[in-house]
Amino acid sequence: MRATTIHGPGDIRVEQVPDPRIEEPTDAIVRVTAGCICGSDLWRYRGDNPITVGSTIGHEAVGVVEQVGAQVRRVQVGDFVIVPFCHCDNTCANCLAGVQSACVRSGTTQSGQAELTRVGQADGSLVRTAPPGPHLLPSILALTDVMPTGWHAAVSAGVRPGMTVAVVGDGAVGLCAVIAARQQGADRVVVMSRHADRQRLATAFGATDVVAERDEAGVAAVLELTRGVGADATLECVGTDQAVRTAFGLARPGSTVGYVGVPHGVSLPIERMFGRNIGLRGGVAPVRRYLPDLLGRVLAGSIDPGRVFDLDLPLDEVAEGYRAMAERRAVKVIVRP
């Protein structure tokens, strides 16, 4: 099959690689209708994370089941499915506790930017839906990672009706976190963003205030907006030390920072956390936990997270998609085999 592979920083190629195969009786093979590039893929693209030369890349995909293992019962060949980036059996103790991302039989999509991908624990992982039309497919694709991840940030921070929520990060996850905060009842959503196109989209998603300043100036601006109190809940959607420290600077005493940015070089401001009773909660989003609810919201038209996609490319042009995201010319890129 054709698949996206990475060979070094900035070196993305489309190559012929062996087709995935059924390795366990609980596996399924999905023919990818659409995949996409994630902000977390850029860590490897920039050389900030280790690279296995020639390995496939991409963990978000939707498509049609092409083959199933002998023990798969809930999905069958021909079903259109959403593939959560973290696979789970949805029956172990961790899954039943709502932490499907820590399933004892966990796995991760390895070739979402490809023609085919293997899904472990297919019965627990895959969510069936009717094949979406062109207008709906981007929002269905967003349910594989970024929308549930933004949702997890809001859940982790304890967003409730009437709150003022601050969102740190204006990438696809941060923009989806704006949707999540509003859907969970926030009256006011302040988004930290310096980019006009992302500011406009955040506002369309329900952000009530935009703060372009960063670091201490950004914290001061949010404190001014909140009469010196700070945010009732803060959603950290980047993963850098700067973003985490900003998040804690925005958080009011007694509140919680919900973090979903993949941590890179983060040192927690533990003295501030202790002195102001600010909590930290989050991590890898348990996508399968949120999928049924979020799918219902997409199908009902109450959310439209597919608007985060602003570039749509064929698989052969995936390298341009990486360049566009790395250079901030695109928020999120669809890749179609």
pLDDT per residue as tens digits for the range 281-330: 999 999 999 999 999 999 999 999 999 999 999 999 999 999 999 999 99
Predicted confidence band of residue 88 (pLDDT cuts 50, 70, 90): very high
Residue 251: HSE in the Cβ half-sphere, 13 Å Cα cutoff: 31
Residues with Cβ < 8 Å from 128, sequence gap 6 or more?
A: 75, 79, 80, 81
Predicted confidence band of residue 54 (pLDDT cuts 50, 70, 90): very high
Query: Which has the closest alpha carbon to 336: 318, 322, 324, 310?
Result: 318
Q: Looking at this protein, which amino acid is placed at residue 302?
A: S
Q: Looking at this protein, which amino acid is placed at residue 108?
A: T
Distance CA(155)–CA(186), nearest Å, equals 12
Distance CA(247)–CA(245), nearest Å, equals 5
How confident is the model over 97-144, as pLDDT tens digits?
Answer: 999 999 999 999 999 999 999 999 999 999 999 999 999 999 999 999
pLDDT > 70: what percent of the chain? 100
The CATH code for residues 2-145+286-336 is: 3.90.180.10
Specify the domain boundaries for CATH 3.40.50.720 within the chain: 147-282
Distance CA(201)–CA(170), nearest Å, equals 9
Q: How many CB atoms lie within 10 A of CB 91?
A: 15
Arithmetic mean of pLDDT, 7-24? 98
How confident is the model over 241-295, as pLDDT tens digits?
Answer: 999 999 999 999 999 999 999 999 999 999 999 999 999 999 999 999 999 999 9
Arithmetic mean of pLDDT, 37-55? 96
**What is the per-residue pLDDT for 175?**
98
Residue 215: HSE in the Cβ half-sphere, 13 Å Cα cutoff: 1
Predicted confidence band of residue 49 (pLDDT cuts 50, 70, 90): very high
Specify the domain boundaries for CATH 3.90.180.10 within the chain: 2-145+286-336
Evaluate whether 283 touches 304 at the Cβ level (below 8 Å): no
The pTM is what? 0.97
Mean pLDDT of the chain: 98
**What is the per-residue pLDDT for 76?**
98
Q: Looking at this protein, which amino acid is placed at residue 59?
A: H
Distance CA(133)–CA(186), nearest Å, equals 31
CATH top class, domain 147-282: alpha beta
Distance CA(295)–CA(291), nearest Å, equals 6
**What is the per-residue pLDDT for 186?**
98
**What is the per-residue pLDDT for 48?**
94
Arithmetic mean of pLDDT, 4-31? 98
